[in-house]
Structure 1
C-alpha cells in the first residue's frame, strides 16, 4: 500500500464506512467535542481514507467527524491510502481508535471476524460461539492504541460523590432573612484567602481538574447550564467559587432582578451544602444594591467584584457594602481587573487585586460595559 501527504478535505466529500463497528456514548462524544474545541485536530493522527471503490471512504475517525460536525467544522485532516485490499482496509479500521467508544459485538461478529485476526492486533472480544451469540458484553482492548481523547486526564472515581450531590439537589426552601425567601448563605462555608489556580467557568471547564477557584465573570450563556446540572461544577475538583454573576442592570425590572438574585444565592447555598466555599458577588447595578444583600448573614466576610477602569465610585460603594455586612473596616473583598486606578484603590484600602487575564471583546483592563 502507499499513501499521500496529509490533506485537509471537506467532510462533504467523504463517504462514511458502512457497518462501522464502533459506537460512542453521548458523554464520550461530548468529551471528544471539548477536546477538539480546545486542541484542534492532531496532524499526527489524520483520518485514514481509501479510494479502492472510487470514493473517499473514511476508515477511521468516524467519531471525530461527528464531533467536527457538532463544532460546525467543514474540513478535517486526512491521509489517502491507495491500492488497499479489503483485508488491509479492515485491518486499518480495527486498529484505528481501538479504545475509543464501544464495540458493537453483533457487527464485529457478522462483518469483521473473517477479515482480520483480532488477537493479532491486540483486540479481545467475547466468544462468538452459537451458545453465547446473544452476548452484549463490551469488547476491551488488551493493548489499546492512543484514542481520540488521549491527553485528557482520567476522571477520578466520583460515583459516590455524584450520588450525594444529586441527593442534595432537590426542590427545597432554605432558611431566609428576607421577605422574598432569598436563601441565606452559611457562615461556616464562606471562602477565605484566594486559592489558586483561579479561572473562569467556560468551555474547557469540564476537562480541567486543577482549578481551585472558579469565577463567573463571563457571558451569562457560558454558565447558565449549571442551573440545570450543577454536578459538573462539583465534580471539577474546585474548592471555592464566586457566586454566578447573573446580569442585572438599572433598566432591569425589579421582579426579574429579584429572580436573578434568588437563583445565584440558591445555587450558591446548594454548593455550600455540598462542601464548596463561596464568595458573595457584589457586582450588581446600584439599583439592586440593597436586594443583593439579602441572604447574606451578618458577619459574612468573603466578597468578590469586578473592577472597572475610571469608575472607582462603584468599587467604593461595594466596599461600604462589604464593611457593613462583615463589620470590619478591612473586609475580605477581592477585586478582579480594572487597571491601574483600581489597583491603586485596592492598595490604599488593603484589598486583594487580581489581574484580569482574559480580556473581553469590548476592550482591556475592565473597560467593558458595567452592569448599570
Structure 2
C-alpha cells in the first residue's frame, strides 16, 4: 500500500535535517537572480576563469580517456605536489602515503574531519563570525557546537582567553578558519602561540581551514601566512584543510585536501571511501597543472584582489560604514549599525532599492549582527558602481 499523497513527508526527515536552517548566504541570491541590473557582492567565488594550463590539462585528460576512478587517496603526483608546496611555504612535512587525502573540495575534507573525531555529545569550539557550514558539519557528525564570539576590537582574532571561557570537560576540538570568511581577519603568530598552549593544556584537536592561505595582504603578506600546524606543539594535533577553489580560481573543479597525523587521517579515509570513493579525476589532473604551472597566476589574482580590497574598504568608510581592514580572503565586513537597520533589513532593502546584493552578517553567527559581508571577488568597475549605489542608499536613510 502506497503512502498517502497528503502525508507530510517532511516528518520523515531526521531531526538533524529538520533543525538545520538553510544557508543564510543563498536566500538573497535566489532573490537577486529574479531581478535585473543587480551587482552581487555576495558569492564567495573568484570572478577569474581557471588558469589556461588547468583547463588545457583537464580537456587533454578527457580526450585521453582518463575517466576512471583514481586511488581513494587521490593521484600520488598531486599528493606529492601538495606535500612539497606545504613544505616550501610553511616548512611542514607530511607523509605522502599516510597523511594526505585528496577530497571533493575543502567542504568534504571538513565533513570528514568532523566525522573522524566527534562522537555524539563532544563539544567543538568554533569562533564566529565564521563560514556558514562549520556548525552544520559538526552537528551532522553528532557534535555540539559552542560558539566563541570574536570582536572588531581584537581584529576578529579569537584569543586563548576567549576559548578558555568556553572550554568544558566535554570539549574535544577547536575549529579555526583563518584567513576568515566573512571578516577577512588573519590569525597572527603571537595569538596562535597562546592558542597552542591552551590546546595542549586541555588535550584538544584543532581543525584548521586554510583555504584562503595564499590570499593575504599588507603587512601580513610581508610576514607571511602562519599555518596552524607549523606552530610548535600543534603539528600532531591539527587536521589541516586546504584546496584549489579560492587560490587558483577552481571552484567548479571540486578539489580539496586534508593533511593530518596518520591515525586521524585513517579515520577520515574510511569515511571518504564509503562516501565518494575518490575526488573527480579531471579535477585532480587540473590541480596537478595548477601546482606545476600556475603559481604566477595566484599572485596575479592576489594583487588584483588587493587593489579591489583597498577600493571597497576606503569606499565603505567614506560613505559612513566603518569597515575593519581585511588582511586575507576577499571579503569586507562593514558595520551598518549607524543606519538603524538590522543586518537583514539592510541587505534586503539595499537589494530591492539599489540592486546591490550582500549577505547579512548574522548569517555567519551572532557576532555578525550589525554587519554585512561584501565580497570583492568581482571587477573593480562593479565595486565602484556598487559603492555609488550604497552611498545613495545610506543617504536616503
TM-score by length of 2: 0.26
Higher radius of gyration, 1 or 2: 1
Bigger proportion of residues as helix: 2
